[in-house]
Every structure is written in C-alpha cells, then in structure tokens.
Structure 1
Amino acid sequence: MLKLLPGQARLTTICFSQRPDPDLVKLASFALSCPTHIADCERAFSVQNYILTERWASLSPTTCDQLMRICISGPSFTDMPFIEAVERWDSKSNRKLFAH
C-alpha cells in the first residue's frame, strides 16, 4: 500500500480531481517521485568505498554489486558461525592452517 505524506496527499487530491490542471499533474508527478532523503544512496557509496579498496579495484561490476548487496542487506555478522566456516574451508583443501 502506498503511504503518502500529508503534502503528497494534498497534491494527489488536486491532480486527480475531475478537471486536473495538466501543469499540476506534472508538478505532482515530479514531487511524488523525488526522494525525501539520500541516506540509502550515501550508505551505498560508503559500502562501495569499503569494498573497492586498492587491492580489490579490479572487481567486476557484477561482483561488486553482489558484495554490496550482501553488505547492505545480508545476514548479520553475529549470525555467522565463523568456527564452522573456517573448519569447512580448511577441509576443502590440504591447508596447513591448523598445523602446529
């Protein structure tokens, strides 16, 4: 369901009355499509800068997009079973990670 702010509801009422003014319809369509904040955009740039370090600058756009999506909306680090993941990673190859 679309939730309108008070000002947006008034614009919508004006534009969808029986005889809407074409200029008001254009104004309302522009006003209703403008973002009310840029926090999501700023967060995405911050995550991108975190991922695309000098060492990882050659990542493909697809890989970068996938990593950004995981960082932004992926599972929390507290939900990650790190010990199990490292043991599974270690068992996949002849690694000397736990050799003493």
Structure 2
Amino acid sequence: MKTWTDRLPQIPFRYDALPPDGPWMTQEEAAAYLGVGPYHLNSLIGNTHRIEIVRTTTDRKFACTRASVEAEKEWRDTAKVRRKALRLIGDWFKQF
C-alpha cells in the first residue's frame, strides 16, 4: 500500500551537540563561503541534496558539513560553463 510519503525525498538528520570549530559551519557561513544567498543555499540543501546538513541538539538549528560545502565550492570553481548549464537544467526539472 502506497502512502503520501513514498515519493518524498528522505533527508537524514543527525542530532548532535556541535562543539565550535568542528567539521561544520552555520548556514550563514556556508552561504557566505559559496557566495550565494540564503534562499539559494536552502535550495541546494533541500532540492538537490548537494550540501549535507546536521542538526544541533542545543538550539535545534541546522549546520552544514564543511566537506560538502568545500566540495560544492571546488565544483563551482572548476566546472565548465556547459556542465553548469546542464546542472541548472537538471536541477530545474527535479523540482517538478
């Protein structure tokens, strides 16, 4: 039997107490590091799952893993225009 959650993306959340200076950064830091706005960062997190996130236990806020943000930054710096255009088209179609 199918349920309404069958076609929804499954986003794993880890509830960890995040000490400062660990392998993660806040959403504001990640957006500034990538040079994008908060809406675009949330799109990368929610729609395309390219940025991995964890959730803190103390204040229940999201934090992005530093490795995934650095990998996204490296891809943006080294990808050719054609690859960026194909990725944009693919991401646009994934939203529907």
Measured against the shorter chain, the TM-score band is under 0.3
Larger Rg over CA atoms: 1
Query: TM-score, normalised to structure 2's length?
Result: 0.26
TM-score under structure 1 normalisation? 0.25
Structure with greater strand share of residues: 2
Which has the larger helix fraction? 1
